[in-house]
Every structure is written in structure tokens, then in C-alpha cells.
């Protein structure tokens, strides 16, 4: 039996309501990540995290060369980012892959 226009309208409204709720949840998650980056990471940590996220194939040595730092410094700063990701989001064993997923890659 074909659906009435009223039934179709109700179904469409339900789909729109569910999608709107999903979008609100995504926006809240994005706001949480932005707050984490701005309020938790130091400027130097943000810098290496940004380069590590934008250039996933770069090694610590390449990031260090680009920034004029030592590879050990870059490693230490990224390790600090990973620790903070673990603390803020409960990500066990946070790594560069987890950082890229959380920070937008």
C-alpha cells in the first residue's frame, strides 16, 4: 500500500531530525578538538603537531630540518602531544596516526 504524503512528510522530518542531531554531535566534537589544541598544547607542540599532521610521510628529522630544530626536540614535543591526547581523550597508546585522526587528517 503506498504511503500517504503525511506519512512521507513524517518520515522525512524524522530523518532530518536524526541528521541534525548527528551534525550537532560532530560540531561539539570539533569544538572540543579546537579547545584542546588552543588551550592544552604549547605553541611549539602545536607547530610540530601541525607539520606532522599535514605531512604524514615526514620523519622527525624532516620536521626538525624544516623548523630548524634537532630531531630529538621534535620527538620530545610530539611525545608530549601524544601524552596530552591520551589524557584529554582517553586514547590509549596515542601515536602519530591517532594525532592525525584527532587533529584533522
3-class SS of residue 40: helix
pLDDT at 41: 92
| 23-53: pLDDT as tens digits | 776 666 678 878 888 899 999 999 999 998 8
Mean pLDDT of 76-89: 91
Q: 10 pLDDT exceeds 90?
A: no
Q: 65 pLDDT exceeds 70?
A: yes
Mean pLDDT of 77-100: 85
pLDDT at 79: 94
The count of C-alpha atoms lying within 13 angstroms of the C-alpha of 87, restricted to the half-sphere facing its C-beta, is 9
pLDDT at 3: 65
Q: How far apart are CA 1 and CA 79, in angstroms?
A: 61
pLDDT at 95: 78
Mean pLDDT of 8-18: 68
Question: Nearest 5°: CA angle at 85, between 82 and 89?
Answer: 155
**Joined grid coordinates for residue 89:** 581523550
Q: Does domain 42-105 have CATH number 1.20.58?
A: no
Amino acid at each position: 500500500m503506498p504511503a500517504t504524503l503525511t506519512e512521507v512528510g513524517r518520515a522525512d522530518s524524522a530523518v532530518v531530525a536524526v541528521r541534525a542531531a548527528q551534525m550537532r554531535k560532530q560540531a561539539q566534537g570539533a569544538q572540543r578538538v579546537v579547545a584542546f589544541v588552543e588551550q592544552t598544547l604549547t605553541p611549539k607542540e602545536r607547530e610540530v603537531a601541525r607539520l606532522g599532521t599535514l605531512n604524514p610521510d615526514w620523519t622527525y628529522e624532516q620536521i626538525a630540518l624544516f623548523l630548524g630544530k634537532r630531531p630529538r626536540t621534535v620527538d620530545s614535543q610530539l611525545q608530549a602531544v601524544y601524552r596530552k591526547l591520551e589524557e584529554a581523550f582517553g586514547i590509549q597508546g596515542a601515536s602519530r596516526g591517532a594525532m592525525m585522526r584527532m587533529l584533522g587528517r
